[in-house]
Amino acid sequence: MKNSKLKIVIFTVISFLAINSSMAQRFASISPSEAILANKGQNDSHRKQFYLLTPVQNIPDINPLKTEINYPVLAGISAVTLASGIGIHIYQSNAWWRDKSSRFRFVNDWKYALWLDKLGHFYGTTLLYHAFSSGLEAADFNSDKAAVYSAIGAFAFQMYVEIEDGFGKNWGFSPGDAAFDLMGALYSLGQHYYPVLKNFQPRVSYYPSLEQREGKRKDGNIIDDYAGQKYWMGIRMKNILPKSISKYWPSFLMLSVGMGLKNWNGFGKGDQDLYIAFDLDAEELPLHGGVWQFIKNTLNKIHFPMPGIRITPHAAFFAIVY
């Protein structure tokens, strides 16, 4: 009887070792990257099933900040930029630079258009920045690089104009203009790095002055028709008002503060007009995609005709201020 029990014990031990040896060989064939999934099945035997997962090979090095420049698009944008630059140069040459001086000179013209021309330089640089940055982003430039290059490009173009003015017989390099050019470039760059500044949008509106409409202005240059221009700062009230008030303010409705000229004689005499008017935020249009975003951003460079009031020199309400 003892011998029978001994045989049973020996048989049990040998069977256990055999099973363990088989399982050891099974697991030895599984690489460390293979997962063992236990299927707790719903049958009484609670059988375990093992699934082998094929290890991933050649995992790509992914950098979400890395971009590949689209050179065909970049070439097309460069061609458009060059053509536009040449066109602007020809236009301004005919308007201002026909008579050249061999001597470079400086001119302080702070009173020329009662500071409206300085606001124009600030706005013009932000507009150039918008054009350059949109082009570079379309060519898949990194957004930070596009912002920096655009600010440099916009300011450089404005400096080119200022230097040309410096050799103009009836003009000169204006430190005031250059200062506002620089502020426009820095403000645009600041909007990129400090998004809160996007709540304050430089805008423009233009309706030809009476002299321009009647052809009484000598050169007929609309860029210098300051009596017909107004420069604005559109404010996204929804984002800056206290929450208790902001919840009642429509997101598409902005408030703009603007400045224009009246009775301007072209040589520093006239009246400054200050306005407060409603405005529209094109960003709220339900249009999406790169092209639509460019269109909305461009529309937000323009003051929309809306009701408003003139603060100075004589307060008045207008159904449409433009």
Percent of the chain topping pLDDT 70: 77
Specify if 60 maps to a domain: no
Do residues 119 and 230 both lie within one domain? no
Q: What is the pLDDT of residue 170?
A: 77
Specify if 209 maps to a domain: yes
Do residues 151 and 267 both lie within one domain? no
Specify if 74 maps to a domain: no
Do residues 152 and 218 both lie within one domain? no
Do residues 177 and 218 both lie within one domain? no
Residues 39-84 have pLDDT tens digits of: 444 444 444 444 455 555 555 555 555 568 999 999 998 999 899 8
Q: What is the pLDDT of residue 62?
A: 58
Specify if 66 maps to a domain: no
Quick one: the chain helix, strand, coil %, rounded to 5?
50, 15, 35
In angstroms, the CA 322 to CA 64 distance is: 44
Which carries the bigger pLDDT value, residue 58 or residue 110? 110
Do residues 128 and 218 both lie within one domain? no
Task: Please report which confidence band the pLDDT of residue 27 belongs to, taking 50, 70 and 90 as the band edges.
Answer: very low
Residues 201-225 have pLDDT tens digits of: 999 999 999 989 998 887 778 888 9
Do residues 320 and 203 both lie within one domain? yes
Do residues 228 and 162 both lie within one domain? no
Taking the CA atoms of 206, 299, 117 and 88 in sequence, report the sign of the dihedral they define: negative
Residues 178-198 have pLDDT tens digits of: 999 999 999 999 999 999 999
Q: What domain range includes position 145?
A: 100-193
Q: What is the pLDDT of residue 70?
A: 92
- Number of folded domains that form the chain: 2
In angstroms, the CA 308 to CA 256 distance is: 9
Specify if 37 maps to a domain: no
In terms of average pLDDT, the best of 19-23, 104-108, 157-161, 211-215 is 157-161
Specify if 2 maps to a domain: no
In angstroms, the CA 287 to CA 304 distance is: 19
3-class DSSP assignment, residue 109: coil
Do residues 200 and 189 both lie within one domain? no
Tell me how far the alpha carbon of residue 173 is from its chain's centroid.
30
Is residue 243 predicted with pLDDT exceeding 90? yes
Amino acid of residue 310: R
Specify if 286 maps to a domain: yes
Q: Which of 193, 212, 238 is the last residue of a domain?
A: 193
Do residues 167 and 204 both lie within one domain? no
Specify if 11 maps to a domain: no
Do residues 216 and 258 both lie within one domain? yes
Do residues 140 and 159 both lie within one domain? yes
In angstroms, the CA 176 to CA 268 distance is: 15
Is residue 21 predicted with pLDDT exceeding 90? no
Q: Which of 165, 193, 221 is the last residue of a domain?
A: 193
Do residues 233 and 165 both lie within one domain? no
Residues 256-270 have pLDDT tens digits of: 999 999 989 888 889
Residues 283-320 have pLDDT tens digits of: 999 999 999 999 999 999 999 999 999 999 899 999 99
Average pLDDT of 19-37?
A: 44
Q: Which of 193, 209, 238 is the last residue of a domain?
A: 193
Residues 81-108 have pLDDT tens digits of: 899 888 878 877 776 667 666 688 899 8
β-strand partners of 71: none
In angstroms, the CA 197 to CA 192 distance is: 8
